[in-house]
Structure 1
Amino acid sequence: MRPPSSSSSSLSSSAMPAPGGGGGGGGRMSAFTMRAVARMSRARWFIFLRRVYQYQNGPRSDLGSNPFNSPGWLALELGVIVAQMVLTTAVVATSPAELPAWPLRLWVAAYNVGNVLSLPLLYWRHRHSSAAAGGRGDALSGDLEMHGANDALRDRSYLMNKARAFLELFFAMWFVMGNVWVFDARLGSFSRAPRLYALCISLLAWNAVVYSLPFLLFLLLCCFVPMVGYALGYNMNSASVGRGASDEQLAALPRWRFKEPADVPRDREHDDQECCICLAQYREKEEVRQLPCTHVFHLKCVDRWLRIISSCPLCKQELK
Structure 2
Amino acid sequence: MDQQQRHVSSAGANSNPVLRFPAVRALPFARLIAAERRRLFLSDCADRRSDDDDGDCAYSRAVLVLDMVWNLAFVAVTAAVLLSTLRESPTTPLRLWLSGYAFECVLHMAFVYLEFCDSVSHTTSRYVYSIAKKLEPINTLASSLWWVLGFYWIVVGGQALLDDSPRLYWLTVVFLAFDVFFIIFCIGMACIVFFALFCFIPVIALAYAMRIREGASEEDIRSLPKYRFSQSNLLVMVDDIKKQLVNKARIDSCNGSHMSELSLHPDDSECCICLCPYVDGTELYRLPCTHHFHCGCISRWLRSKATCPLCKFNIRRGDTLV
TM-score normalised by length of structure 1:
0.46
More helix per residue: 1 or 2? 1
More strand per residue: 1 or 2? 2
* Structure number with higher relative contact order (C-alpha < 8 Å, ≥ 6 residues apart): 1
